[in-house]
Amino acid sequence: MSKHSYSFQLDEYGNTTGIYVRTRRIGVMSNNYTNRGTAFNRDERQQLELEGMLPPTVRTLDQQLRMSFMKLDTKTSDVGKFIFLRALFDRNVTLAHALIKEDIENLMKIIYTPTVGLACRQYSSMFRTAQGLHFYPGNIDQAEEILKRYSRRNIRVAVVTDNQGILGIGDQGAGGIAICLGKLMLYTQGAGIAPWHCLPVSLDVGTDSEELLNDRDYLGWRHNRIRGEEYISFVQRFARAFKKVYPDALCQWEDFSKQNAFEIRDTYLHDMISFNDDIQGTGSVALAAILTAMKIKKEKLADQRFLIYGGGAGGIGVAEQITTALCESGLSDLESRERIYVFDRHGLVTDANAENYKKKFAKSPDHLEWFRNQEDGTLMKVIKKAGITVMVGASGQAGHFTQDVIESMMKNSKEPVILPLSNPTEYSEAAPADIFRWTAGQALVATGSPFESVEQKGSKIRIGQCNNVFIFPGVGLGILASGSRELIPAFFTAAAYAVSECVTEEDRKKRILMPPIDTLAEVSRRVAIAVGRTAIHKNISGTYAFGTFQHNNDEERLKLLIEKMIWKPVYLPLIPS
């Protein structure tokens, strides 16, 4: 008999069909997986010894949702709404996810960007209930033992951060775990990965924020960030323990600094089932918008010239994913990279100024007849001389796509593709309304942050959002369902094509590049199928660890498994044990 107060009943597909309950009374109500508040029915109240602890009336989930929306509507600030949703999640996880699902388009802005950035900053003062794991130098040697404590939850996805590159606001110390919590809520909303199979992890290696270090209420490890070999050793100890305890689980690296993001991703590329969403997720979702634009323009990807404005993790991720897609279209790696120009704070990235992770996209001045000195590497000059037709903003610098820059794009293409992806909204390289005005409505635009619809020719046009949420939940589900033992770049190309296919013909006629947020569940399902099929075609699908299937190289069975694995936020049977 397990010493834990609950465990999960799984069917042959790995979906949860019930929860075994080994406690009674307050023990049932104090656990957010087993608690259902006023929705405990008569039999459950008797069997779990709850009679007399609740008012007599039994409410349905729908009635609870109505009451919860009424309470949510009383919150006047986004932070207030965030606190309400997190408190509800900590109390009743099924009700919280049912509430979010009812209004995913609006509530995603609360549980994730931009509101979660405020939650990171206020983490210590807002702390109420422990969620996830915090590793720091004082306990990293116990990582394996600590991870094993969560084995009853059958962990399938972990989102792991070292808290350094949080959402463009930088080092947030222990508060960065709020990002992991938000991302995992989206894994559940998008891909139906049950919340008990999700694990948020903070690798607290200190902080260089003097504000946090001097804050008497700060909950993190009060120490400047460790670096070099000490940092590498810390991450290695976590990675070894995670792989040993959860060899079949997906590990998503989140919000690491630029250099660490690439080094960690590449180090564990073949040792763990892992990826970095800031790099690969961003690259995939940007590619999805570009692919939709190609359908609208009726042009080939290989005929474009790409400029990536921003040489951080996101920007290089976009460049990498475009390269992968171009190679899959028949170009060589060199031919693909020749079509891509990357900008950072120094201007055009060249052999002379490229950092390690940018070098494969650095241009050699000797091979550019128009490049004589760094002054020739200005944005306007490169757009003109290189014939740029697709421009992606990943700089975190507001307003850098000026009218002159946009108008210069029009000289290369009647329908330039312009993606100002930096977020939050106030960091966007340009506002869609301005881009449309400067191009007489001819530009094809999608953004990283949510923008209001823009009026075009007498009608309101929705602005497609290149949100990574269209990518990572489906990629995760596809990997789990296929049993893939590794994660390859082709998964993200397949995901991009799947997302693009979800843009309806009606929306393409309106020149919209991305599907609406409220179709997230369907988009994630189609992404999962595309990723699973890719695993089968690449011959890397394997044994499925969470069900009884031994092999999964049948596409019809893959689709069935994906459908059956998806958890929906409804109350499961509670089985007294």
Active site residues per annotation: 112, 183
- CA pair distance 177, 153, nearest whole angstrom: 19
221, 137 contact by CB (below 8 A):
yes
- How far is residue 557 from each of residues 411, 470, 502, 533, measured CA to CA in Å? 50, 23, 22, 11
CB–CB of 201/132 below 8 Å? yes
Whole-angstrom distance, CA of residue 528 vs CA of residue 558: 9
Nearest to 430 by CA among 462, 457, 407: 407
Cβ-proximal residues to 192 (8 Å cutoff; 6+ apart), any chain: 477, 521, 524, 565, 566, 567, 568
What's the sign of the alpha-carbon dihedral 207, 210, 211, 216? positive
Torsion on CA atoms 515, 511, 300, 504, rounded to nearest 10: 40
Q: Which two tokens stand for residue 327?
A: 């190679």
Question: What do you get for the CA distance between the two ends of the chain, in Å?
Answer: 9
Cα 87 from Cα 150, distance rounded (Å): 21
Tell me, what amino acid is at 33? Y
Other C-beta atoms lying within 10 Å of the C-beta of residue 11: 13
Asked whether the CA dihedral 43, 44, 47, 52 is positive or negative, the reply is negative
Evaluate the CA torsion angle 320, 326, 330, 335 in order and state its sign: negative
Give dist(CA 78, CA 119) in Å, integer: 10
- Alpha-carbon distance 383 to 378, whole Å? 9
